[in-house]
A and B are shown apart, each in its own frame.
Chain A
Amino acid sequence: MRKGIRNWGPPLLLLAPSLVLVAIFVYGLIIANIQVSMTDRHSLAAEGAFVGFENYITLLTEGRFLHSLLNLVVFTVVFIAGTMIFGFIWAWLLDKGVKAEGVFRSVYLFPMAVSFVASGVVWRWLLNSAEGDRASGLNRMLQAVGLDFLQNSWWNEPVWGMAAIAMPAIWQLSGYIMALFLAGFRGIPDELREAARMDGASEWKLYRHVIFPQLSPIALSALIIVSHMSLKVFDLIMAVTKAIYQTEVPATYMWIALTSNDYAKASAIATVLLVIASLFIIPYLIHTMREEKRSS
């Protein structure tokens, strides 16, 4: 008995504060959130009677919410494609021995240190929707280089406007994906490349059969990270366009619901986001946990 306390006491003592905090503020609040989402608390005065899934049904049949989901999908697809493509190209170019590699790496990565609120100030200007004489930002630049026909109203376009909002996000995070891929490239033993070259593999075959399979775990991590960031996109939209209908995503819609004291709706939107996020985070975590067990 004494031995048991000696063995389990100290580790629990060190872990206890964090475990309690995580239990309350992550799991406890998630449960509380789901609870609120199943009540009729649509105003400060409302009683909060249990209504089951009613709020979810209302939400999933509401045009405005579906519009925000569609926006999120467009944003996510463009954001993921952009960061993965640029991140991969940069890492690939830098991997092959470049002079001043550190300088390139630092420049590509630095936007990550800046907040969306700060970079949003300049992107709001770059993505200014005025065209012709009043054009500034990117539209003005397109005129200057003779590509007038590419001028557009950016985020003010229905549906594809969300692709414009993804541009700052791509600017900000491609460097991060580059850093991940670069680590991946550097993790591939040179013997492996050499051996493939010895066997007479062409460059393409080398990539197809040696490099890409070795990079796939990194690509998966990168994909998970970028997509969960995408689901949470909030700061960027608030900074570039404010919370308006054209660029509405669930996170900004939730903010609008909460500021109008519609607690039930706000929590229902949040729960939908959590469910979507969990769909790929939980498998990822389970996968990581299994790897752990195997290696320990």
Chain B
Amino acid sequence: MSQATQTDLSSGVSTRKMAGGAPQQKGPRFVLGRTAKYVILIAFVIVVLMPVYVLLVTSFKPPADVNPESSWGLPLRWPWESVNGGPTGFDNWVTAWDALAPALGRTFLLAIPAALIAAMLGSMNGFVLSRWRFPHASLVFTLILFGMFIPYQAVLTPLVEMKTTLGMPSNILTLLIVHVIYGLPICTLIFRNYYEGVPIELMEASRMDGAGMLRSYASIILPLSLPGFVVTIIWQFTSAWNDYLFALFLTDVQGGPVSLALNNLAQGAQLANYGAAMAGALIASFPTLVVYIILGKYFIGGLMSGSVKS
């Protein structure tokens, strides 16, 4: 029985290719065990998807139909049908969209540049720290890494004061700067691990040819870095999109990202208006879910490279 095991950062998920079937006895016990395993796995799938079911069905119920007795049931009528001329299930989505649309735009303006800039800086750091060793390089790296693990509460009070002192606005720009800075440690880590896997000969060859460090970086390393960029950009985009802490401390609902707008919508909602809040939660999660579905394997790669050495 030969099995090839491989792990690579770009996909993040290790795959084992089964070359030959395991020598298993396929008796009744085996069949029973296998069935039990699938039953358990599917039961967990149902539990994990339960909140999604609730979000979907509730978001399509008009307020008049949201009551405790039928709270787990499917909507009683089509989303466009109203109760006695009142709001329909679709109105939840319209209400949520109206409340979130401006913030959604602002959040794209925040998350995309924050991801690109942090990834670029992370790439430069990762390159230096992995391929151009200097004395105490690991200490410098560890000091940068510490920034990833601190509870951000430990910098928030002075950060808020700094913002006031410098007269920085309570808007996306301030938040953008903050996300770039606190994204640096993880981007550096991901790129450093990634570049460790780039053959050292490539660097040495270019050095032999008389290329300086900046030259080698621009013409050899950068073109090889695409997978590293995909991972860091996904990671940074998702964390900037989902951030609430910095947004709450540094911006306000009028100029803040979608997390603030959603919380504002949801906290205002009484039981009767849960539908709009749930539609809003789905709208606000849509971009990161699309990223997860389309680029899922890289997303996992980002999660893994934050913790596991490749």
Cα of A289 to Cα of B129 in the assembled complex, Å: 13
Most buried by A among B122, B241, B263: B263
The answer to whether A289 and B184 have CB atoms under 8 Å apart is: no
**A113 interface contact, C-beta 8 A:** yes
The answer to whether B291 and A17 have CB atoms under 8 Å apart is: no
Which B residues are in CB contact (< 8 Å) with A273?
Answer: 151, 153-154
B1, B58, B245: the one contacting A235 at CB < 8 Å is B245
The answer to whether A98 and B41 have CB atoms under 8 Å apart is: yes
CB-CB nearest in chain B for A233: B151
Chain B, 260-310, CB within 8 A of any chain A CB: 262-263, 266-267, 271, 274, 277-278, 280-282, 284-285, 288-289, 291-292, 296, 299-300, 303-304, 306-308
Interface residues on B, range: 35 or more
A154 → chain B closest CB, angstroms: 15
The answer to whether A135 and B68 have CB atoms under 8 Å apart is: yes
Which B residues are in CB contact (< 8 Å) with A210?
Answer: none
Cα of A170 to Cα of B150 in the assembled complex, Å: 21
Known: A33-B157, A183-B7, A232-B151. A115 touches B285 (CB 8 A): yes
Chain A, 195-227, CB within 8 A of any chain B CB: 218, 221-222, 225
**B89 interface contact, C-beta 8 A:** no
Chain A, 78-124, CB within 8 A of any chain B CB: 86, 90, 93-94, 96-98, 104-124
**A136 interface contact, C-beta 8 A:** yes
Which A residues are in CB contact (< 8 Å) with B143?
Answer: 22, 27
Which A residues are in CB contact (< 8 Å) with B245?
Answer: 232, 234-235
The answer to whether A281 and B149 have CB atoms under 8 Å apart is: yes
The answer to whether A125 and B274 have CB atoms under 8 Å apart is: yes
Known: A25-B155, A32-B158, A235-B244. A114 touches B13 (CB 8 A): no
A18, A86, A121: the one contacting B278 at CB < 8 Å is A121
Which B residues are in CB contact (< 8 Å) with A266?
Answer: 156-157
Interface residues on A, range: 35 or more
Against B, the Cβ 8 Å flags (1 = close, 0 = not) of A7-31 are 0101101110111011001110110
The answer to whether B244 and A171 have CB atoms under 8 Å apart is: no
Known: A254-B153, A258-B156, A270-B156. A117 touches B144 (CB 8 A): no
Which B residues are in CB contact (< 8 Å) with A183?
Answer: 7, 12-14, 304, 308
Which A residues are in CB contact (< 8 Å) with B127?
Answer: 14
Cα of A137 to Cα of B280 in the assembled complex, Å: 19
Against B, the Cβ 8 Å flags (1 = close, 0 = not) of A267-279 are 1011101100100
Against B, the Cβ 8 Å flags (1 = close, 0 = not) of A114-148 are 11111111111110001001111100110010000
B293 → chain A closest CB, angstroms: 8
Known: A6-B212, A14-B127, A107-B45. A117 touches B14 (CB 8 A): no
Cα of A231 to Cα of B151 in the assembled complex, Å: 7
Most buried by A among B132, B145, B281: B281
Q: Is the interface of B mostly helix, strand, loop or mixed?
A: helix
Which B residues are in CB contact (< 8 Å) with A11?
Answer: 128, 132, 134, 213
**A190 interface contact, C-beta 8 A:** yes
The answer to whether A293 and B289 have CB atoms under 8 Å apart is: no
B-binding residues in A (CB < 8 A): 6, 8, 10-11, 13-15, 17-19, 21-22, 25-27, 29-30, 32-33, 36, 86, 90, 93-94, 96-98, 104-126, 130, 133-137, 140-141, 144, 171, 175-176, 179-180, 182-183, 186-187, 189-190, 194, 218, 221-222, 225, 228, 231-232, 234-235, 238-239, 242, 250-251, 254-255, 258, 263, 266-267, 269-271, 273-274, 277, 281-282, 285-286, 288-289, 292-293, 296
A-binding residues in B (CB < 8 A): 1, 3, 5, 7, 12-16, 18, 22, 37-38, 40-41, 44-45, 48-51, 54-55, 58, 68, 71-72, 121-122, 124-125, 127-129, 132-134, 138-147, 149-162, 181-182, 184-185, 188, 212-214, 217, 238, 241-245, 248-249, 259, 262-263, 266-267, 271, 274, 277-278, 280-282, 284-285, 288-289, 291-292, 296, 299-300, 303-304, 306-308
Known: A97-B18, A190-B1, A263-B161. 7 other contacts (CB 8 A): A10-B213, A26-B150, A30-B154, A97-B22, A105-B13, A114-B285, A175-B48
